[in-house]
Amino acid sequence: MSFDVGYTTADGRTIGGVLMEMKNITLRFGGVTAIKNISLDIREGEIRAIIGPNGAGKTSMLNVINGFYHPQEGEIIFRGEHRKRMRPYQAAKQGISRTFQNVALFSGMTTLDNIMAGRQLKMHKNFLWQMLRYGPALNEEIEHRRKVEEIIDFLEIQAIRKTPVGSLPYGLQKRVELARALAAEPSLLLLDEPMAGMNVEEKEDMSRFILDVNDEFGTTIALIEHDMGVVMDLADRVVVLDYGKKIADGTPNEVQKNQDVIDAYLGVA
């Protein structure tokens, strides 16, 4: 695989060039090394999965990608530019949005308001205009509401539009979180265990939505997931981490056959 030209996936989608490249990333917390010299790339339009046993450094990797952690060594190139030390909101401005392992929504607010919050970076009228809710601010809000309604329709959450998210079941909260991430119209969407704690039916729904997001909006998706069946079905390429090291990288088929991966998951006798 060359770095500039894309490739064609098993289901016939064409994947573009490199969107984000991480070279030799090392991340330490005091004496603990969470990530050891890992390099990986994410290409335009693909669904990239990061998997590994507990404590392998998956979430740390995601936090590095969205600028929450700053690696001690290595470099990150996003859209061909070297990334400097930055804050997560700057990453959001660059078009990276994410969901969290344990849902992080404003639980007292309605689904609609939570998703509207996801458009915050795209609203330009200042606080006073918004308080007046008149003229340009009103037009802006209508425009954003329309976008949000499209997402609500897309994720089929019309019935909970006005429900405070705190009272929703977990599976739906996950969906609202995805909706909020989508509201920012990201070019790179990071999903941290989008299917944790869901039943089979909810997992299938969520898988459908992830594929549809990728297909309809052309969003590049990087996801962490424990359910191997889901990962193998969804992902175009999978990177496997174990104890902060990369042990495999390739298509689901290649990764499944890799002896190191089998050892990491099943243990070595």
| 82 vs 146 by CB, closer to another protein | 146
Q: Alpha helices of the chain — where are they, by DSSP H? A: 58-65, 88-93, 111-117, 127-132, 136-154, 170-183, 200-217, 228-234, 252-257, 259-266
Q: Environment class of residue 6 by beta-carbon count within 10 Å: exposed (0-12), middle (13-18) or buried (19+)?
A: middle
Half-sphere exposure of 45 (CA within 13 A, CB side): 14
Quote the CA–CA distance of 35 and 28 in Å, as a whole number. Answer: 7
Q: How far is the CB of 159 from another protein (least distance, A)?
A: 3
Quote the CA–CA distance of 62 and 126 in Å, as a whole number. Answer: 32
- List residues near another protein by CB under 8 A: 11-13, 145-146, 149-150, 152-154, 156, 158-159, 161, 200-201, 204, 208, 211-212, 215-216
Closest CA to 114 of 150, 62, 152: 152
| 85 vs 133 by CB, closer to another protein | 133
Half-sphere exposure of 46 (CA within 13 A, CB side): 25
| 165 vs 240 by CB, closer to another protein | 165
Quote the CA–CA distance of 72 and 30 in Å, as a whole number. Answer: 11
Structure tokens at 263: 């050892």
- Does residue 197 sit in helix, strand or coil? coil
Closest CA to 114 of 170, 173, 169: 173
- Taking a C-beta distance cutoff of 8 angstroms, is the pair 188, 172 a contact? no
Q: How far is the CB of 64 from another protein (least distance, A)?
A: 32
Q: How far is the CB of 254 from another protein (least distance, A)?
A: 23
| 77 vs 211 by CB, closer to another protein | 211
Q: How far is the CB of 45 from another protein (least distance, A)?
A: 13
Q: How far is the CB of 1 from another protein (least distance, A)?
A: 23
- Taking a C-beta distance cutoff of 8 angstroms, is the pair 24, 73 a contact? yes
| 4 vs 201 by CB, closer to another protein | 201
Q: How far is the CB of 168 from another protein (least distance, A)?
A: 13
| 68 vs 217 by CB, closer to another protein | 217
Q: How far is the CB of 191 from another protein (least distance, A)?
A: 19
| 154 vs 243 by CB, closer to another protein | 154
| 20 vs 115 by CB, closer to another protein | 115
Q: How far is the CB of 37 from another protein (least distance, A)?
A: 38
Quote the CA–CA distance of 37 and 185 in Å, as a whole number. Answer: 31
